[in-house]
Structure 1
C-alpha cells in the first residue's frame, strides 16, 4: 500500500458480503469471547483460542462499520484450513509482517508490486515467485484464481467489491484486515498476531509483538528525560490551498506526545486529519521548532516551488524539517509506508532522535531524513 502519514490510506480494498468461513453480525462479540482474547492494544480485532479451532473476530473491517466478521480457522468444512502455505496480501504494510514471521516465501501474489520496498521480498518478485495482480481496486481475478492461494488478506473502504466477491465464490477465503483503522501505534502493530494464527505461529507472533511493545514503552520512558519540549508543526498544503495535518487524537499525534513534544494542534478533536487554511497554520505554527512530515515533499526546493510562503516558517529557515517520504526502495516504494505500522518503536525513536538527539546518541534514523 502506498500511502502517507496523513493520507492514511487511500488504497484500501475490499469488503465482501458473504463467505463460507466468515460470519457477519450486527452486534459485538459476546463478553465471554472477549475475555478469552489475547489482544492488548488493538481495538479492531480479537483472537479467540478454542479447543478445536481459532476465531479471528474483526470488529472494525471498514470505516464506521457496525458489522463484526468472524473467521474460523480449523478443520471444519467451512473453516479456513491452517497453517496456510500460499497467501495473497494487498497492502505493503503486510509485507514486513510476513518477513518477521519468516513466511515471505508463502506470498504468491500482490497488487502493484513496484510499491514493495523490502529487498527480501523484492528478490522474490524479481525472480517471478510473486505475481503482479494489477491495481488494488480491480485485481486481475484470472491470475489470482490461477494462483489458488489458501487465503487473501484484503482491506476495505466500504461494503462491496465485485472482484473479491468473485474470488470468494470460487472458494478462496478472504479476510478483511482493519489494522489501518487502529488509533494507536501499538494497536496497529499488534495485528501481527492475526498472521501468526494463520501460520500456527502464535507464540512467535506474541514474542515479536512483545519485543516491539517493550521497545516502544522504553522509548517513551527515555523521552520523559528530556529537559526541553520542542514545538512541532506538521503536514503541508496538499490541494486547493488546504493544509492537511494530524488531528489531536490521531495516532500521529500520539507519537508526538510519546516523544515528549508540544504538538501545536494537540488539543484539536478528531482521530484523522485536520484541513485548515494556510493563514491559520502560519498564525499558530510560524515559530515551531521542528516541522515533522511535510506531506509528500522531499526537498526544500519542492516546498518553495509549491508555495514560496513556506519560507516564512522558522523551521524552514533553521533547517529543521524532517520527512519519512525520502527513503525509497529501488522501484520507488517508500519504506515508511511499508514498515512503520509494524515497527512503531522505530518511528518513535526516529522522532526522539530528531527532537531530543542527546537522549539517543548512538541511534541512527530508520525512516526520517532532513529536507535539504
Structure 2
C-alpha cells in the first residue's frame, strides 16, 4: 500500500511537471513582447497570434489593468477569452481627447481618421486645423463632459480617452453604445522618452507598428545624442521654474517629466532632490531663499512678459533671473486659435525640448540650432 502511494505521488508529480513544461513551452511560442523600452504605462504582446494591448497606468494610483485584443480582418479570434475587450483593426474612424494625441496621428499619417475632438480651439497643428475648418472633425464639448449624442452619431471605431480617477460617466455612456473606449496614460510617464514611445500605442491601432517604431527610434536617437552633447559642458547653470498661484508657488517635483529634461540638459534644477512626479506647492519665502540667485528661470507659468509679471506681483523682481533677463517661456508660440504649441507637440518631440534647453543653458554647444518652443521673455 505504501509503495502504491509512492508510485501514485510520483506519477502525479511527473504529470504536473509535464503540464508545467507544456505551459511554459506554449507561452514561449504564443506570447512574445514587443520592444517597449521606456514607457511603463502600457505593453503590447502577441498572444496566440493576436496583438494584446495592456494599459497598466490608466490613471494616477490605479490598481486596474485594461486589456484590449486587437483583431485584424484575417485574425482568428476564436481563442480570445470570453468577455475580453476586442478592437477591430486597423481603425478607420477615431476620436481622441487630448491635443497631445494629434501629433502622433499626424506622424503616422492617419490624421484624416479623426472624426471628433473636444475643445477644438486648442488644436494648433495646421494639418488638423484644416480638417477642423473644413468640417471633417466635429466639436465634442468639454473633456470631462463629452457630448455623447454627437459622438455616438459619429460611430467611431474607438475613443481614446484619459481619466483622473477612473470615474467618467461620458465614457460609460459611450461603452454602452458598443463603442470601445481605450484609456491613454501617456501623461503619467515619468521620462520624456517614455511619453514619446506612446506613438507605438497608436501605431498598433492603425496597423502601423513598423512606422511607429521607426519614428520613435529617430526621436530616441536625437534625444540621446543631444543628451550626450550636453555633457560636454563643465558648467551647470542653476534653474528655477514655475510661478505663484494665489501665494502658492507651483513648480516641478524632482522626479517629474520636466525635472528629467532639465537634468538631461546638464543643468542644476534646484529642486532635483525632491520626491514625486507631479508638482511641489511651496510658499514664496522658501522659493526665494533657494532660488534668488538662480541663473535661469524656465517656464514662469502663463506669463508672456515681465510687465505682466510685475503687475501680478512685484515680488518677482527679487530674483536675479528676472533682473538679468534670463527668463525663458513657451507660452508665446501659439496656433491660429490660441492653443499653445508646446502643450500639443512637446510630449511627442522631447528631443526638440531637450535641444531647446541645451541651447538656453549652453549656447555654444548647439550653435546652429534655433529654438523650437522657447524664447527669451521681454
- The TM-score, its normalising length taken from structure 2, stands at 0.88
For the residue of structure 1 that corresponds to 2:87, the secondary structure is coil
- Report the Cα distance in structure 1 between the residues aligned to 2:67 and 2:141, rounded to whole angstroms: 28
Asked whether the equivalents of residues 223 and 359 of structure 1 are also in contact (C-alpha less than 8 Å), the reply is yes
Name which of 41, 50, 55 aligns with 2:52.
Answer: 55
Is 1:102 the counterpart of 2:109? The answer is: yes
Asked whether the equivalents of residues 31 and 47 of structure 2 are also in contact (C-alpha less than 8 Å), the reply is no
- In structure 2, the gaps of 5 or more residues are 1-26, 79-84
Q: 1:50: Cα distance to partner?
A: 3.3
Distance of aligned partners of 1:247 and 1:34 in 2 relative to their CA distance in 1, 3 Å threshold: farther
Match of 1:4 in 2: none
Q: 1:249: Cα distance to partner?
A: 1.2
Q: 1:34: Cα distance to partner?
A: 9.0
- Report the Cα distance in structure 2 between the residues aligned to 1:74 and 1:38, rounded to whole angstroms: 20
> Comparing 270-279 with 34-43, which one deviates more in the overlay?
34-43
Is 1:41 the counterpart of 2:47? The answer is: no
- Report the Cα distance in structure 2 between the residues aligned to 1:248 and 1:106, rounded to whole angstroms: 38
Match of 1:251 in 2: 257
Q: 1:161: Cα distance to partner?
A: 1.4
- Report the Cα distance in structure 1 between the residues aligned to 2:165 and 2:253, rounded to whole angstroms: 23
Is 1:82 the counterpart of 2:89? The answer is: yes
- Report the Cα distance in structure 2 between the residues aligned to 1:54 and 1:35, rounded to whole angstroms: 10
Q: 1:35: Cα distance to partner?
A: 6.3
* CA RMSD between the two structures: 1.4
Name which of 59, 65, 68 aligns with 1:68.
Answer: 65
Is 1:155 the counterpart of 2:162? The answer is: yes
- Report the Cα distance in structure 2 between the residues aligned to 1:285 and 1:34, rounded to whole angstroms: 51
Runs of 4+ in 1 over 3 A off after TM superposition: 31-35, 75-78
Asked whether the equivalents of residues 32 and 47 of structure 2 are also in contact (C-alpha less than 8 Å), the reply is no
Q: How many residues align?
A: 341
For the residue of structure 1 that corresponds to 2:260, the secondary structure is helix
For the residue of structure 2 that corresponds to 1:205, the secondary structure is helix
Name which of 354, 367, 377 aligns with 1:371.
Answer: 377
For the residue of structure 1 that corresponds to 2:164, the secondary structure is coil
Q: 1:51: Cα distance to partner?
A: 4.2
Relative contact order higher in (CA < 8 Å, ≥ 6 apart)? 1
Q: Larger radius of gyration, structure 1 or 2? A: 2
Match of 1:295 in 2: 301
- Report the Cα distance in structure 2 between the residues aligned to 1:301 and 1:184, rounded to whole angstroms: 34
Match of 2:322 in 1: 316
Distance of aligned partners of 1:34 and 1:320 in 2 relative to their CA distance in 1, 3 Å threshold: farther
Instruction: Describe the superposition over 1:319-351 as per-residue Cα deviations: whole angstroms up to 9, x where unpaired.
Output: 100011111101010000000000000000000
Asked whether the equivalents of residues 97 and 342 of structure 1 are also in contact (C-alpha less than 8 Å), the reply is yes
For the residue of structure 1 that corresponds to 2:95, the secondary structure is strand
Match of 1:333 in 2: 339
Is 1:268 the counterpart of 2:274? The answer is: yes
More helix by share: 2
Pairing 1:125-204 to 2, within 5 Å after superposition: 125-204=132-211
- The TM-score, its normalising length taken from structure 1, stands at 0.89
For the residue of structure 1 that corresponds to 2:200, the secondary structure is helix
Asked whether the equivalents of residues 38 and 46 of structure 1 are also in contact (C-alpha less than 8 Å), the reply is no
Instruction: Describe the superposition over 1:218-252 as per-residue Cα deviations: whole angstroms up to 9, x where unpaired.
Output: 000000011311110110102x2000101111111
- Report the Cα distance in structure 2 between the residues aligned to 1:268 and 1:221, rounded to whole angstroms: 25
Match of 2:20 in 1: none
Asked whether the equivalents of residues 34 and 46 of structure 1 are also in contact (C-alpha less than 8 Å), the reply is no
- Report the Cα distance in structure 2 between the residues aligned to 1:298 and 1:229, rounded to whole angstroms: 26
Pairing 1:210-249 to 2, within 5 Å after superposition: 210-238=217-245, 240-249=246-255
